[in-house]
A and B are shown apart, each in its own frame.
Chain A
Amino acid sequence: MAVESPTKPTFADKLYDKMFHNYVWKSIFRTGYPNTPRNQMLVVATNVFLHLHPTRIHRTHVKITHTYCLGGLSFFMFLGLTVTGILLMFYYVPSVDRAYLDIQNIQTNVQFGQLMRNMHRWMAHAMVILVFLHMMRVFYTGAYKPPREFNWVVGVILLVLTFLLSFTGYLLPWDQLAFWAITVGTNIAGSAPVLGPKSRFWLLGGLQVGPDALIRFYTLHVIGLPLLAAIFMAIHFWRIRRDGGLARPL
């Protein structure tokens, strides 16, 4: 009876062993390569980014036609907008004297500047559309029903925040399109009874769109509203897990 002798490790095996089974690597990634169910679950549970997800989900939920990934893609747009937005912030100064020239400068003198600006704008439009479609998906699949009532409310708040984020960003290029769109937009807000004129004044920092409006919109756009949106997104994602993941027939 022949006894199977273990095969000699090849060079590739040794290299793999050296690279991924050493002390430093294992201090960062505690789990092994996710090629066994155990490791696959561990990698999701122990990774800060992946642990937004449970380790296992119902099989109907990975069907693309169930969600079309709309909520996840809205979040992905938010991340992309943050990255491109930070790159644009390096070159943009929110003053009436400089804003327009900075945008021109970004488009003509900055390496990939035009591309980053284009990405930022189209991603912003995409986010508004995706968030709206996500709301439609949630409604038509009845996913707002108990126990997810409050998460639907958080979703409505996030929809409003998305509109506000886009609206405040609209003024920043300081061109005719931006100026008059914000003039029309804030006039709409200003027409509200009782609180209208005050809230318009508060938003613009004056009676018409000017330097004070630009700095207010900029501050809201780059820190105030993203922070608020991030808080509500955290609640939104947390509640998805707490309420038992995606809705499915009981």
Chain B
Amino acid sequence: MATAVVARPVARPQARARDEEVLVWPDLVFVEFIAAMVFTITLFLLAFLVNAPLLDQANADVTPNPSKAPWYLLNLQELLLHMNAAMAGVIIPTIWLGILAAFPYFDRETEGQGKWFGTERSVRITSVSAIVGIVGTWVLILWDSGKGAYLLNKWFGFSGGDKLRFLENMRAIQSQLPWPEWSRKITYLPFNLKILSSDAPGGPTQFQHLDFPGWLVEQGIPIAALVGLPALLIYSLWKMGWVLTRRDALLALFSGFVGAYGILTLVGTAFRGPGQELVFPWQLNVSEGIPGEE
């Protein structure tokens, strides 16, 4: 009778044959014990050999240059250099976590679970997407930091001259193109809506006027890139006949994300020197309160 009222899961694995089973004690408990021991010993050794950093006492008057968030947030701090702060720091990560959580509701096929990669072309899709994520992110960072134009000139003697200067980096699109004056102050709300304003209450509200070139550079192009590039990747893989199922599309999306996320973290951690300038890791000299110099 009880089965009549208990909601059944969407898919229930069939009962398995006894000869496919092993006992948890000792077969699994043993593996867990070894894993725990390996980690305990490794971490003890690490803790013996490397001290946790401790710099000078906190001082609100002495700002280290660069000031960096904890390493696992440096991907967001890196994004912050390229677009609107609210977008990079809050909106994009929140939306991405939402997308991540929604994965199983998008791909509802039960097939291919419990197996590494699972579908026919999954290894190919994963490696290509990860490489696209890694290389693409690097290229975009190099371009937006202005290093792309600099290196093109230095290595190949290529210079776009004044005409192409607006392609040097994102900001140049705002500053080097002849935007008409009206486009920098488009009224989109004829009254002040305080809730949209991040200014202190009482001050003049700028929010209801849109600086179109500024908006384009800070939000328009980044949104287009963040939505468009993954979509383009999945579309191309679909056209190539690699992506056939929703699982394949998720593989491309997730692998591209892991690649990009890894590079953003790496660049933020090891390639950003004073003034958040893009430098090589061995040129990372920080003034005052240097992480890891203790």
Contacts and interface: CB of A to CB of B under 8 A. Distances in A.
Contact of A53 (B28, B56, B70): B28
Given A152-B103, A173-B54, A180 B21 contact: no
B189 interface: no
Contact of B100 (A96, A156, A183): A156
Nearest to A142: B113
B25 A176 contact: no
A54 interface: yes
A188 B28 CA distance: 43
B2 interface: no
A166 interface: yes
B21 A58 contact: yes
A144 B60 contact: no
B58 A175 contact: yes
A107 B39 contact: no
Interface residues of B, number: 88
Interface residues of A, number: 92
B56 A175 contact: yes
Contacts of B67: 180-181, 183-184
Interface of B: 9-14, 16, 20-29, 31-32, 35-36, 39-40, 43-44, 46-48, 50-60, 62-64, 67-73, 76-77, 80, 85-86, 88-91, 97, 100-101, 103-105, 107-118, 126, 195-196, 198, 247, 250-251, 254, 258, 288-289, 291
A250 B73 contact: no
A109 interface: no
A141 B20 contact: no
Given A44-B24, A114-B51, A177 B254 contact: no
A173 B73 CA distance: 18
A145 B109 contact: yes
22 contacts: A40-B23, A40-B25, A44-B24, A44-B25, A44-B29, A50-B25, A53-B29, A57-B22, A57-B27, A58-B20, A76-B39, A107-B51, A114-B51, A139-B250, A142-B114, A142-B115, A145-B109, A179-B60, A184-B69, A184-B77, A246-B114, A249-B114
Contacts of B111: 250
Given A55-B23, A193-B86, A247-B114, A115 B77 contact: no
B55 A176 contact: yes
Contact of A40 (B26, B86, B112, B254): B26
Interface string A221-250: 000000000000000000000111011111
Closest CB pairs A-B (n = 7): A176-B289, A188-B89, A248-B114, A179-B58, A118-B47, A149-B104, A147-B9
B105 A149 contact: yes
A23 interface: no
B26 A34 contact: yes
Given A72-B35, A115-B48, A188 B72 contact: no
A166 B74 CA distance: 14
A193 B87 CA distance: 9
A73 to B, nearest CB: 6
A141 B118 CA distance: 7
B90 A196 contact: yes
Given A141-B114, A160-B97, A174 B104 contact: no
A90 interface: no
A6 interface: no
Nearest to B29: A50
Interface in A25-77: 34, 37, 40-41, 43-44, 50, 53-62, 64, 69, 72-73, 76-77
